[in-house]
Amino acid sequence: MESHKRVKVSELLKREPGAEVLAKGWVRTKRGNKNISFVALNDGSTVKNIQIVFDMNSFSEESLKEVSTGACIAVKGELTASLGSGQSVEIQAKEVTVLGPADPDSYPLQKKGHSMEFLREIGHLRPRTNTFGCVFRIRHAMSFAIHKFFNDKGFFNLHTPIITASDAEGAGAMFQVTTLDMTNPPKKEDGTIDYSQDFFGKSANLTVSGQLEGELGALAMGEIYTFGPTFRAENSNTPRHLSEFWMIEPEMAFYEIKDNMDLAEEFIKYLVKYALENCMDDLQFLNDMFDKELIERLRSVVNTEFVRLPYTQGVEILMNSGQKFEYPVSWGTDLQSEHERYLVEKHFMKPVILTDYPKDIKAFYMKQNDDGKTVRAMDILFPKIGEIIGGSQREESLEKLESRIDELKMDRETLWWYIETRKYGSAPHSGFGLGFERLLLFVTGMANIRDVIPFPRAPKNAEF
Ligand code: 4AD
Ligand code: MG
Residue nearest to atom 6 of ligand 1 (CA): 209
Summarize the confidence of residues 297-323 as an average pLDDT. 97
For ligand 1, is residue 228 a contact (CB within 6 Å)?
Answer: no
pLDDT score of 314 more than 80: yes
For ligand 1, is residue 387 a contact (CB within 6 Å)?
Answer: yes
pLDDT in tens, 165-180: 987 787 668 999 999 9
For ligand 1, is residue 440 a contact (CB within 6 Å)?
Answer: no
Range in 8-22, 57-71, 110-124, 298-312 the model is least confident about: 110-124
Alpha-carbon separation of residue 56 from 31, 87, 151, 197, 215 (angstroms): 12, 22, 54, 72, 66
Atom of ligand 1 nearest to the CA of 388: 19
For ligand 1, is residue 211 a contact (CB within 6 Å)?
Answer: yes
pLDDT score of 436 more than 50: yes
Pocket test for ligand 1, best of 226, 247, 337 (most atoms within 8 A of CB): 247
Q: Give the orientation angle of helix 280-289 with respect to helix 294-302, to 10 degrees.
A: 130
For ligand 1, is residue 453 a contact (CB within 6 Å)?
Answer: no
pLDDT score of 385 more than 90: yes
Residue nearest to atom 26 of ligand 1 (CA): 241
For ligand 1, is residue 77 a contact (CB within 6 Å)?
Answer: no
Atom of ligand 1 nearest to the CA of 380: 17
pLDDT score of 381 more than 60: yes
Compute the distance from residue 17 Cα to the ligand 2 centre, in Å. Answer: 53
Alpha-carbon separation of residue 438 from 105, 217, 339 (angstroms): 38, 25, 17
Atom of ligand 1 nearest to the CA of 251: 12
Q: Supply the mean pLDDT for the chain.
A: 96
**Residue 4: per-residue pLDDT:** 76
Interior CA angle at 356 toward 352 and 357, to 5°? 90
Q: Residue 298's pLDDT band (boundaries 50, 70, 90)?
A: very high
Report d(CA 388, CA 328) in Å as an integer: 22
**Residue 138: per-residue pLDDT:** 99
Q: Cα-atom radius of gyration of the chain, to the nearest Å? A: 27
Summarize the confidence of residues 257-273 as an average pLDDT. 98
Report d(CA 303, CA 331) in Å as an integer: 32
Summarize the confidence of residues 235-247 as an average pLDDT. 95
Q: Residue 44's pLDDT band (boundaries 50, 70, 90)?
A: very high
Compute the distance from residue 247 Cα to the ligand 1 centre, in Å. Answer: 7
Share of residues in the chain with pLDDT > 70 (%): 99
Report d(CA 242, CA 223) in Å as an integer: 28
**Residue 111: per-residue pLDDT:** 74
pLDDT score of 110 more than 90: no
**Residue 166: per-residue pLDDT:** 84
**Residue 1: per-residue pLDDT:** 45
Residue nearest to atom 20 of ligand 1 (CA): 435
Report d(CA 464, CA 452) in Å as an integer: 15
**Residue 3: per-residue pLDDT:** 55
Alpha-carbon separation of residue 425 from 34, 393, 429 (angstroms): 80, 17, 12
pLDDT in tens, 61-101: 999 999 999 999 999 999 999 987 778 999 999 999 999 99
Instruction: Give me the torsion for CA of 217, 221, 222, 224, rounded to 10°.
Output: -50
pLDDT score of 441 more than 80: yes
Interior CA angle at 241 toward 236 and 244, to 5°? 105
**Residue 236: per-residue pLDDT:** 86
How many CB atoms are closer than 10 A to CB 109?
A: 18
Range in 111-115, 122-126, 145-149, 438-442 the model is least confident about: 111-115
For ligand 1, is residue 435 a contact (CB within 6 Å)?
Answer: yes
Pocket test for ligand 1, best of 166, 260, 438, 446 (most atoms within 8 A of CB): 438
Report d(CA 192, CA 33) in Å as an integer: 74
Residue 37 sits at φ, ψ, to 5 deg, of -125, 140
Atom of ligand 1 nearest to the CA of 243: 28
pLDDT score of 287 more than 80: yes
Share of residues in the chain with pLDDT > 90 (%): 94
Residue 391 near residue 432 (C-beta atoms within 8 A): yes
